[in-house]
Structure formats: structure tokens, C-alpha cells
Chain A
Amino acid sequence: MSNIQKINRRDFVKIFGLTSTGIILGCNISSDKKEFIPASNENSFSPNLFIQIHKNGNITLMASRSEMGQGIRTSLASAIADEMEADWKYVTVKQAIGHEKYGNQNTDGSRSVRTILEPMRKMGATAKMMLIAAAAQKWNIAESDCKAENHFIINQKTTEKIFFGDLIDVASKMPIPDENTIQLKKVEDFNYIGKTLKSVDLKDFTHGTAKYGMDIRIPNMKFAAIARCPVTFGTVKSFDSSAAEKISGVEKVIQLDRIVPPIGQFFGALGGVAVIANNTWSAFQGKINLDIEWNYGENHSFDTEKFNELLTKRVHQKGKLVPGSKGNVTNAFTNAEQLMEATYHVPFLVHTPMEVPNATAWFQGDKVAVWAPVQDPQTARAEIAHFFEIPIENITVNVTFLGGGFGRKSKSDFVVEAVALSKKINAPVQVVWTREDDVKHSFYHATSVQYLKGSINEKGQVTGWLQRVALPSIVSSFKPLSDYASGFELNQGFTNNPYHIQNFRLENVKAEAHLRIGWMRSVVHIHSGFANNSFADELAFAAKKNPIDFQMELIGKDQIIERKSDYPYNSKRMKKVLENTAKIADFNRKRPENYGIGIAVHYSFYSYVATAVEVSVIDGNVKIEEVWTTIDCGLVLNKDNVINQLEGAAIFGISLALFGKITAKEGAVEQNNFFDYQMTRMKDAPKITINIIDAMNQPPTGVGEPGVPVIAPAICNAIFNATGKRIRTLPLIDVDFS
């Protein structure tokens, strides 16, 4: 039987030629896949890598993407189950290890559903077809006389039925169906897709039994904390560990050199001095008691305040013209009825997922095992193979639950640290970052300074729009001296803003990186969303127009713009979300004194979002009263999950608007923990209403991120509406409203 399974799987992969869909890259998957062949083979059947049907009817579905709160385990499983006609109550979800046989597992860019929904549905459909074939053979009738329904195959002639679990013996001997014969269900026939399914992990989440990275326990494992240089890429000059070694529980103190990534790929690790202990707290205590002298290196002079001044100066001079600019802004400005100028500032930000970066590694000579909360297990695996010269097949990366990711956990520097330490001490070790480490040594969301200039004609229409962007690039983390925002960054809401403006000029302005730059939820859209919507609101006010009408005009006529992707931009969909938000927020209602409302629209990760925020500003205190968001994200996989994500995005956006600010002096980040890098709390959390546009016949687009970029500008526009004070620099905690 196991033979048949192996052949089945290999054929399956071949048939699907799944490289094209990006789901299974390695067609020559090895036949030795014990993890998919259950110990008691006779009790289950796996039609493919993602599905295992057990004799008792239970179904185990494999989640290939990391769960970090976006509900992916539930969503992907529900798509397979729907096509299989499985009964959800029999479904359990298992997390896949990091392996190319699962296709690309990188969980970022709000693209999991977008890219692997269809392959997952096909996996489910294939299983269904094989079960039908098995039943048809048993009954000796045509397959077309059978149908699958709620975990049974039904004989449509006699209404006899057979339970899925009772078919596995025969089904496992059925040939894999030809891909061309697979028919996916129609939207109106979905049982689970588009409906609300609760998370499959609720029981574990509410009993403390979900295992996150930090919860991994291995016999004889050690715990480690690492002191890293306060200045990025600084190195250890010398250190005295005598005080640290006196701490009870501390076993060893060792130096860890920086692991420098090769140009163009990987993240490496910062290095520092590591304290090895037999519990986390002793490791933390040991670290505090280290006395280290550092070579600070060239980033020592970095000062965010001076850097902001420098960028501000630069954006007031000409930058490099960016392709995608059109028309002639100079003419537009000359002929303008009114000209407006504004400069916007967004500080550095950090992700602070609730669970700090951590990883457990066990280096065993020619083998490495890792347990870690990683968004991108395959890159973690490739880094280990590269830096420690271990054959990739000898490296196992087990993906735990992620206590939040937000982009931080797609950089596996913390995994590399754990492997390096395990190698040095020859024992399994869990590296745990303190919250201070997380705040001070992250891959930061870049700061930005933007200069905008716009012209309005006598009808109050926008005729010209100049935008200069200074933004340290993420590319700098892979390639030193990348001093300008890259093309992919400018394509996040700058070159492709939702506005239809005849004369549009985008300029790229130099901005060096002195911290490690990374991506954080919504990435560069946070900058473009903030400046675009703030400036649109300023122009609307100058034109004496209602902000909703003005945004409508800016979005302009109905048009579909084909860009280099399968997802053309459709201005109609943009206007629809705006219209809906204006309606549910009752935007034009007159608000009481000291209350105001603001609007923002943004197009990101191929989704269309409009948000209105109501604020009050009383006695110098800004309160976010209410948030209304409408999204069009195409086909919705799990409705309540989309709502949950959008609610979370609003809170995430409020955190960055109210509090988000990382500063550095003498090269070192100044913030420490949640007392000086604050988060939205229950008392700051407004009422939130989420509407989803019904677009089930459109392909699914991003959900996790698109709700964030609109929040800060909508808040600032609302503050202007309430007080007449225009906010161009985030965060609001620095603004005096008294």
C-alpha cells in the first residue's frame, strides 16, 4: 500500500506540473516521506501531500503557510474541505515543516490565499474524485451516478451512501485524475468558502495549549540571551563576564561573531555576547550583568533627528525622475488657480509582535533541527545550509505557531543565532530575545520624508501633482549602499496611486540606511497612503469641496488599468468602497463640536479599501471614536476572518498613528519596551465596523495588510476636520493639542 501511495503522490505532482502555480516546486520529490505516510498505513489514505483521510473519517489537512493570526490554517483547510465535500467537524490541521515540496511557503505580502487557493482547491477536488471513483467501483456503477456530499459518496440511483472513511482502501488504488478533468465548484455551491468558519485552533488558544516558538521544550535544552551592540553592525571589542557567570543558572558566556550575509540574499545575524543558562530568566539576568566594550563602527554617528532634517532638505531639491510620471507638472503649476505644498514625515517603526523573536535549534554534527516561529521556513533552512555548510536535506525547520509576525519573523536572524550557539555548545538551545532586544535590534520599518506640491484649477480640480519621496530602502539590508527607494517600493502606492491625475511627477530622493531596514505590515503603503490621503484632503479643503466628492473626482472616470500582473486596477471598485464607507459612516452628518471625521482610500496588495475615522479632540486629548472600513478583496475565503483582520489592521494603524516612533542617538535606538514604544490598548480602541464588498467572482486579493495604510491619514484628516489643525508629522503623541 505504501508503494501505491508513493507512486500516487509522485504522479500527482507530475500531473499538476505545479511549478507553474508555484505550489510544488520540486517534482522529483523523494519517495522517503515518512511524515506523510502514517505509521499504520492501512488506516489512512493520502491522495496528495496536503490531505490524509483516516479510516474513522477524520481528515488531516496540511497547512503550508505560517499561522501568525491571519487565520490561514483555517482558511486553506476550508478550501480543501469545501472541494472535497468534507464535513468540517472531521477536519484537523497539521502544520507543514519548511520544505520545497510544499511550494513557496513564504508567508508575507498578503498573498497566501491569492497564490495558493486554487491549487488547494484542486487538491481537495482530486481527493473527491478518487473517493467517487472508489465508490463507483464498489457499486459497479458509473462515476457520474455518484456524488459527494457531507463526508459521504451517494449513489444517485439508489440513494445508498458510503462514508469517506470506509472508502480509503479502494480509493488509494484509484488512478490520480487528469488535471484537465478537475472541475472546481461554482461560487453558489460553496459550503465553506465565503462563509464564516471559526479558527480551528480556538480550543488551544483558549487553554494555553497552542505551542509557540518559546513553548518548545527539548530534553537537556539550554536557554540563551544575546547582548548585541547598540549600534547596528558594531562589534565586540572585549568583555568581562565574571558578574554574569555568578548568576545562578548561568552556565557559560560566549562570544558570537556577526554572521554576515552574502550580498543579495539572506539576513545573517548580528552577533554579540551570548549567555547560556538553564532557564530563560537566568540568561536574561546574565546578559544584564555583562560588561562589554564595543567597536561601534560607522553607524555610530547616526541620529534620527539630524537624519530627518537632512531628508527634509533633500526633498526640497530635485530628485531622480521615476518612470510612471506623466504630463507636465511645471505647466500645470504655472497655470494653476491655487498651489499647495506640504511636507510629510513618518518615523521609523518596529513590529513588536507579542511573541518576541526566538528559536530553538539542535545542531547534531551533520544534522540540524529547528523549531521556530518563522514566516519563511524555507529561507531559514537555506540560511542554515549556507552558513553552516549542512546539506539542505539534513535540516528540518518545524514551524510553530507565531505569536504575531507582521514581517519581523520573515527574517530568520534569530534562527541563525540559535543554530550558531547550538553548534558552539553542542546542545539544543533556545535563543530568546528580550522585548528590549526586539525594540533595539529589529529590521525597522523605514522612516520617510515626502514633499508634495499640487495645483488646482478654477473648478477646484487637481491639475498637477509632484511627489518627492526620501525613504531608506529595504534593499539596503541585502545590498549595502542602496541609497534610494527601489522600484518595488515605489510601486507600493506611489507609481500606482488610485488617482487619475493628468500631470503627475514622482521623484526619488536619496536616503541612506543606518539601521537594518525591513518590511512591516503594509510596508511602503504606510508612507504612500499617509501622504496621498493627507495631501488629497488638503487640496479638497483648498478647493472648498467635500472630501468624499473630491476623492471621487481624484479617482476619476471608470477605467481598468492593466499592470504587469493578473490583477488589473479597476477604478470602479475603488469608488464603490469609498461610496460605501461614506454611507455607513454617515460622513456628511454634522458632528458635534470638537468632533471630526476624515476619509482615506488606498489600493494595496490588489485590494481596494476606504476608511472613515471619527475623532474627538477635547482638553488636548485625541480620542479615536469610531472606524468604518470597506474592503473589496475579491473572493472571500472566510468572512469572519477577513473582518477580524480588518479590525486588527485598524488597531495596528491606530498604534502607529498615535504612538509609533523609533528614534536613534549616537547610532543606538532610544526606545526600550512598551512603556516608551506604546501600543493601542483596550481603552484607546474605538468601535469598528467592517463592510466587505461582495465580489466573489473576482480572484482573491490581499487581506492582512490593506487595512493598515488608510488609518493614520483618516485619523489626521478627522483631526483637521475637528480642530483645523493639520498633522503632517507622525505620531500624534508628539503633537500638542491644547
Chain B
Amino acid sequence: MITTLKINGKNHQIEAPEEMPLLWVIRDIIGLTGTKFGCGVAQCGACSILVDGILVKSCSMPLSFGIGKEITTIEGASGNLEILREAWQEGNVPQCGYCQSGQLIAATFLLENNANPTDEDIDNAMSGNICRCGTYPRIKKAIHSAVKLKNQGNE
């Protein structure tokens, strides 16, 4: 089908089968490669994106699902994403970095919905994202420090 997909505030005219997962539309058709493939079956979260603010595993949602909606990928920006990036860099979180697009998007979704998450909230929100390098302790710490950074900014 020929359609328009709005990603990070920008409209993209595309042609792709409507059942093609958003992941591959974003990566192969539009060419934004920051969103990653890790499993293809909604198990690892590497492909996480936000669709109208909802956390979505893009490998498992078809193109048709994204039409007419606002999509945010790791190449995009939002207040929480910016602060999380800062905290990620501050905490030297990534190892290979491959899962971190998805981790940051999942963490953005968490902070959009929970301004002050506990460890348990983080465990629940982030357990859909696998990091084979094992950066979980740092991710957890970075989410807490993002909250602190944000509160400092609001003071």
C-alpha cells in the first residue's frame, strides 16, 4: 500500500505491504536504523518505539497499526528521552549499545507514566527489554538519576 507514516514529527511517504511489521518499515523502507531487530517475536524489546505515546514492540505490529499516529523512535526527541540520554551518558551505561535504543524508549515510556518509579516499578517496566551485555544495574541507576536530574531542573 502507499501511505504516510509520521515518525518523530516528520511525514514519510512510503510504499509497503500493510502487514509488514513497523520495525522493517522503519528500518528498511524509511531507513531509520536506530530501532533494532533482536528477536522478531516481541521477546527482547530491541525494537521498542512509541506509538501515540504507547510502548510498542515494532517487530510485532504491522504498518497498518502505525498509520495516522505519532511514532517516536530513538532518533526522536522528548523531554524525558533527553534527560534519560543525559543520565545514560553520565552513568556510562552502554556496553555494546545494541539494546540501548529499546531500553531508552522503554524508560521514556516509564517516566511519561510514572514520575518517580521505585526499583520494583523499574523492574516491571524494563523486564521486556533484554540486554545480553548485562547493563541492568546501570540502567536502573540511570533511571533514578534521570528522575533526580528532572527534579533539579524543575526546582
Chain A residues with a Cβ under 8 A of chain B: 67-71, 196, 198-199, 201-212, 214-215, 217, 223, 248-249, 279-282, 284, 352-356, 401-406, 432, 434-435, 640-641, 644-645, 647-652, 673-675, 679-683, 685, 687-688
Q: A404 with B96: in contact, given A206-B85, A208-B34, A650-B134 (CB under 8 Å)?
A: yes
Q: How far is the CB of A707 from chain B (nearest CB, A)?
A: 10
Per the bound structure, the CA–CA distance linking A694 and B31 in Å amounts to 47
- Whether the pair A682, B136 counts as a contact (CB closer than 8 A) is yes
Q: A355 with B41: in contact, given A205-B97, A651-B134, A682-B129 (CB under 8 Å)?
A: no
- Whether the pair A207, B85 counts as a contact (CB closer than 8 A) is yes
Name which residue of chain A comes closest to B130, CB basis: A679
Total number of residue pairs linking A and B with CB closer than 8 Å = 181
- Whether the pair A207, B74 counts as a contact (CB closer than 8 A) is yes
Q: A644 with B38: in contact, given A206-B94, A280-B24, A674-B44 (CB under 8 Å)?
A: no
B78 within 8 A of A: no
Per the bound structure, the CA–CA distance linking A280 and B31 in Å amounts to 12
Q: A211 with B127: in contact, given A202-B94, A402-B96, A682-B140 (CB under 8 Å)?
A: no
Partner of B43, one of A214, A402, A673: A673
Q: How far is the CB of A730 from chain B (nearest CB, A)?
A: 18
Residues 80 to 106 of chain B near chain A (Cβ within 8 Å): 85, 88-89, 92, 94-101, 104
In this complex, the member of A212, A249, A644 whose beta carbon has the largest number of chain B beta carbons within 10 angstroms is A644
- Whether the pair A674, B124 counts as a contact (CB closer than 8 A) is no
Q: How far is the CB of B99 from chain A (nearest CB, A)?
A: 5
| Chain B residues, Cβ within 8 Å of A679 | 44, 130, 132
- Whether the pair A675, B134 counts as a contact (CB closer than 8 A) is no
B79 within 8 A of A: no
| Chain A residues, Cβ within 8 Å of B96 | 67-69, 353-355, 401-405
Partner of A281, one of B20, B97, B127: B20
B131 within 8 A of A: yes
Q: How far is the CB of A648 from chain B (nearest CB, A)?
A: 4
- Whether the pair A208, B132 counts as a contact (CB closer than 8 A) is no
Partner of B89, one of A206, A353, A354: A206
Per the bound structure, the CA–CA distance linking A354 and B102 in Å amounts to 12
- Whether the pair A217, B31 counts as a contact (CB closer than 8 A) is yes
- Whether the pair A206, B88 counts as a contact (CB closer than 8 A) is yes
| Chain A residues, Cβ within 8 Å of B34 | 207-209
B126 within 8 A of A: yes
- Whether the pair A249, B75 counts as a contact (CB closer than 8 A) is no
- Whether the pair A69, B133 counts as a contact (CB closer than 8 A) is yes
B139 within 8 A of A: yes
| Chain B residues, Cβ within 8 Å of A641 | 92
Per the bound structure, the CA–CA distance linking A647 and B137 in Å amounts to 8
- Whether the pair A69, B95 counts as a contact (CB closer than 8 A) is yes
Per the bound structure, the CA–CA distance linking A404 and B112 in Å amounts to 30
| Chain A residues, Cβ within 8 Å of B27 | 280
Residues 55 to 87 of chain B near chain A (Cβ within 8 Å): 73-75, 85
Chain B residues with a Cβ under 8 A of chain A: 16-17, 20-21, 23-24, 27-29, 31-41, 43-44, 46, 73-75, 85, 88-89, 92, 94-101, 104, 122-124, 126-140
Per the bound structure, the CA–CA distance linking A680 and B131 in Å amounts to 8
Per the bound structure, the CA–CA distance linking A648 and B104 in Å amounts to 18
Binding site secondary structure of chain B:
loop
Q: A201 with B97: in contact, given A208-B74, A435-B38, A682-B127 (CB under 8 Å)?
A: yes
Per the bound structure, the CA–CA distance linking A127 and B35 in Å amounts to 40
Per the bound structure, the CA–CA distance linking A452 and B133 in Å amounts to 33
| Chain B residues, Cβ within 8 Å of A648 | 95, 133-135
Q: How far is the CB of B132 from chain A (nearest CB, A)?
A: 5
Name which residue of chain A comes closest to B99, CB basis: A354
Q: How far is the CB of A137 from chain B (nearest CB, A)?
A: 41
Per the bound structure, the CA–CA distance linking A71 and B95 in Å amounts to 7
Q: How far is the CB of B69 from chain A (nearest CB, A)?
A: 20
| Chain A residues, Cβ within 8 Å of B21 | 281
Name which residue of chain B comes closest to A650, CB basis: B134
- Whether the pair B95, A355 counts as a contact (CB closer than 8 A) is no
| Chain B residues, Cβ within 8 Å of A651 | 131, 133-134, 136
- Whether the pair A647, B127 counts as a contact (CB closer than 8 A) is no
* 22 contacting pairs across A/B (C-beta < 8 A): A70-B95, A71-B95, A206-B89, A207-B75, A208-B34, A212-B36, A214-B36, A214-B37, A248-B17, A352-B132, A354-B130, A354-B133, A355-B38, A405-B96, A432-B37, A434-B40, A645-B95, A647-B137, A651-B131, A674-B41, A680-B134, A681-B127
Q: How far is the CB of B61 from chain A (nearest CB, A)?
A: 13
Per the bound structure, the CA–CA distance linking A196 and B90 in Å amounts to 12
Q: A403 with B36: in contact, given A644-B92, A647-B134, A675-B41 (CB under 8 Å)?
A: yes
- Whether the pair A674, B43 counts as a contact (CB closer than 8 A) is yes
Q: How far is the CB of A110 from chain B (nearest CB, A)?
A: 14
- Whether the pair A685, B43 counts as a contact (CB closer than 8 A) is no
- Whether the pair A199, B94 counts as a contact (CB closer than 8 A) is yes
| Chain B residues, Cβ within 8 Å of A434 | 40
Q: A279 with B127: in contact, given A205-B97, A404-B98 (CB under 8 Å)?
A: no
Per the bound structure, the CA–CA distance linking A281 and B130 in Å amounts to 22
- Whether the pair A403, B28 counts as a contact (CB closer than 8 A) is no
Partner of B40, one of A67, A196, A284, A645: A284
- Can you list the 7 inter-chain pairs with the closest CB atoms, starting with the nearest? A208-B34, A651-B134, A403-B98, A69-B96, A69-B95, A208-B74, A205-B97
- Whether the pair B101, A675 counts as a contact (CB closer than 8 A) is no
| Chain A residues, Cβ within 8 Å of B130 | 354, 674, 679, 681
- Whether the pair B92, A281 counts as a contact (CB closer than 8 A) is no
- Whether the pair B97, A249 counts as a contact (CB closer than 8 A) is no
Q: How far is the CB of B76 from chain A (nearest CB, A)?
A: 9
Partner of B100, one of A206, A402, A673: A206
- Whether the pair A208, B92 counts as a contact (CB closer than 8 A) is no
Q: How far is the CB of A230 from chain B (nearest CB, A)?
A: 19
Name which residue of chain B comes closest to A74, CB basis: B92
Apart from A202-B92, A279-B29, A284-B40: 7 A-B pairs, beta carbons within 8 A: A69-B96, A356-B37, A356-B38, A645-B95, A649-B134, A685-B136, A687-B137
Per the bound structure, the CA–CA distance linking A699 and B111 in Å amounts to 45
Q: How far is the CB of B152 from chain A (nearest CB, A)?
A: 20
Name which residue of chain A comes closest to B120, CB basis: A683
| Chain A residues, Cβ within 8 Å of B16 | 279
| Chain B residues, Cβ within 8 Å of A249 | 17
Q: How far is the CB of B68 from chain A (nearest CB, A)?
A: 21
Per the bound structure, the CA–CA distance linking A281 and B63 in Å amounts to 12
Per the bound structure, the CA–CA distance linking A157 and B136 in Å amounts to 53
- Whether the pair B127, A652 counts as a contact (CB closer than 8 A) is no
| Chain B residues, Cβ within 8 Å of A674 | 38-39, 41, 43-44, 130
| Chain A residues, Cβ within 8 Å of B75 | 207-209
- Whether the pair B97, A69 counts as a contact (CB closer than 8 A) is yes
- Whether the pair A205, B100 counts as a contact (CB closer than 8 A) is yes
Q: How far is the CB of A682 from chain B (nearest CB, A)?
A: 4
| Chain B residues, Cβ within 8 Å of A202 | 88-89, 92, 94
Q: How far is the CB of A201 from chain B (nearest CB, A)?
A: 7
- Whether the pair B137, A353 counts as a contact (CB closer than 8 A) is no
Name which residue of chain B comes closest to A281, CB basis: B24
| Chain B residues, Cβ within 8 Å of A406 | 132
In this complex, the member of A203, A206, A434, A435 whose beta carbon has the largest number of chain B beta carbons within 10 angstroms is A206
Per the bound structure, the CA–CA distance linking A680 and B122 in Å amounts to 15
| Chain A residues, Cβ within 8 Å of B29 | 279
- Whether the pair A208, B88 counts as a contact (CB closer than 8 A) is no
- Whether the pair A280, B37 counts as a contact (CB closer than 8 A) is yes
Per the bound structure, the CA–CA distance linking A352 and B39 in Å amounts to 10
Q: A688 with B37: in contact, given A280-B27, A683-B127 (CB under 8 Å)?
A: no
Q: How far is the CB of A85 from chain B (nearest CB, A)?
A: 24
Q: A208 with B33: in contact, given A70-B95, A682-B129 (CB under 8 Å)?
A: yes
Per the bound structure, the CA–CA distance linking A78 and B50 in Å amounts to 37
- Whether the pair B138, A683 counts as a contact (CB closer than 8 A) is no
| Chain A residues, Cβ within 8 Å of B139 | 682
- Whether the pair B138, A644 counts as a contact (CB closer than 8 A) is yes
